Every structure is written in C-alpha cells, then in structure tokens.
Chain A
Amino acid sequence: GNSVTQMEGPVTLSEEAFLTINCTYTATGYPSLFWYVQYPGEGLQLLLKATKADDKGSNKGFEATYRKETTSFHLEKGSVQVSDSAVYFCALLGGTSYGKLTFGQGTILTVHP
C-alpha cells in the first residue's frame, strides 16, 4: 500500500533561516504529491502540489519538487517568517489508494523572531 514518511519534528528556526522538511513516499503507479499546512487554531489547507515527476509546486515562498527517482517531495523555503509557524503534512493521492490521501505524521515548525 501507499505510505509517506516525513521528517521528525519539531523544527525550531530563527526568522530568515532556510527551511527543509524531508518527505519520502512509497506508492505504485504515479501518485500526486501534496504539502498541507495547519496554522494554529485553523483548519488544514493545501500549501502546494505536484502531479507528475519533475513538477515543482510553489506557493507563499515554499517549493517542493516531485522526484520520482528518489521518491521524495521535500519542502523548502529560503527565508522563513514567524507567521510560517504551523504543522506541515506531506501527503500523496493515487497509486493503490485511489481517492484517499495518505498523510505523513506531520512536522511542527516554530519560527522565533
């Protein structure tokens, strides 16, 4: 079946630091890959996505590239802000689990001024 393994957290950074949150996946076929974000007290929302190999998803300064050869979809941001503090979830859709999102365990990011 499908699975997503996400970098252990929590991650604590100073403002303007570089962020990487690692995500690797296991799936058959050609899944779509997503990063979701959950800000404190808010619901889950899509941050970015990529639907095929070598696609780069980007939004709000965050980027992730769908790497089929390494089965990875690492999230990066060049300069984090305090407002980026949230829980980040890597997820995949498709493969053997048509229609169901498979999530990683989530990474808590805290950014200090």
Chain B
Amino acid sequence: GAGVSQSPSNKVTEKGKDVELRCDPISGHTALYWYRQRLGQGLEFLIYFQGNSAPDKSGLPSDRFSAERTGESVSTLTIQRTQQEDSAVYLCASSPSGGATYEQYFGPGTRLTVT
C-alpha cells in the first residue's frame, strides 16, 4: 500500500516568510509525528497526534511553529516568520497507534532552506 507522503519535497523561502508543510499518513494510522533533522544532527521530535486526543506539542521549538491534523488524516506543519536556523529536513511519520510497540513509518521528508 501507499506509504507516508510529504509535500513539497523541497522548499526554499526567504527569511521572515511563512511556510506550510504537508503530511499524508498511511491510511488507518491513528498516530502521526513530526520530527526535524538539522544538518549533521539526529532527529528532534516536534509534535505528536494520537487520534482525537490533545496533541503533544512539547517538542515545538518556539511559538512560530504550529501543527494541525484533520481527524486521522492529513497534517500540516506551519512555520511563521521563518529564520535561517529553521533550515532542516522535516520528517513526518505515522504508526497504527501510539505507544512503545508500534513501528513508526517515515515519509521522505521536506527539505526546507531559509535564505
């Protein structure tokens, strides 16, 4: 079946502009995650959605970052007033449910470059 998809694959934006990144999880997966991978570093957790529960936003680095999810489908990560330090690959993952035993399936990522 189809995997996790993300769009756009690449985004170049000017400092101060807003950007929206999209994630389509695997159908039927109730859990959805956003991570960030900055150059030469590991992945940092940003936000986690599980079903209709309130999202875990504990990883969002500032109030310029926000994310929404429509039911158990598409999610959008929005970065307002982008800064150069926001340049990274943003990865989305989904899993059948939350918890420690479910594998997370990753999308190909969106490479964001802030100039």
Binding site for B on A (CB under 8 A): 4, 6, 30-32, 36, 42-46, 49, 51, 89, 91, 93-95, 97-106
Contact = CB atoms under 8 A, between A and B. Distances in A.
Given A32-B100, A99-B98, A44 B91 contact: yes
B113 to A, nearest CB: 17
Given A99-B56, A101-B33, A94 B43 contact: no
Contacts of A31: 100
Contacts of A101: 33, 35, 43, 45, 93, 104
A99 B53 CA distance: 13
A100 B108 contact: no
A103 B43 contact: yes
A91 B44 CA distance: 11
Contacts of B109: 43-44
Contacts of B43: 44, 89, 91, 101, 103
Contacts, number: 65
Nearest to B59: A100
Interface in B75-114: 91, 93, 98-101, 103-109
Given A100-B45, A106-B41, A49 B103 contact: yes
Contact of B31 (A6, A43, A99, A103): A99
A101 B104 CA distance: 9
B36 to A, nearest CB: 11
A44 B90 CA distance: 12
Contact of B41 (A4, A36, A91, A105): A105
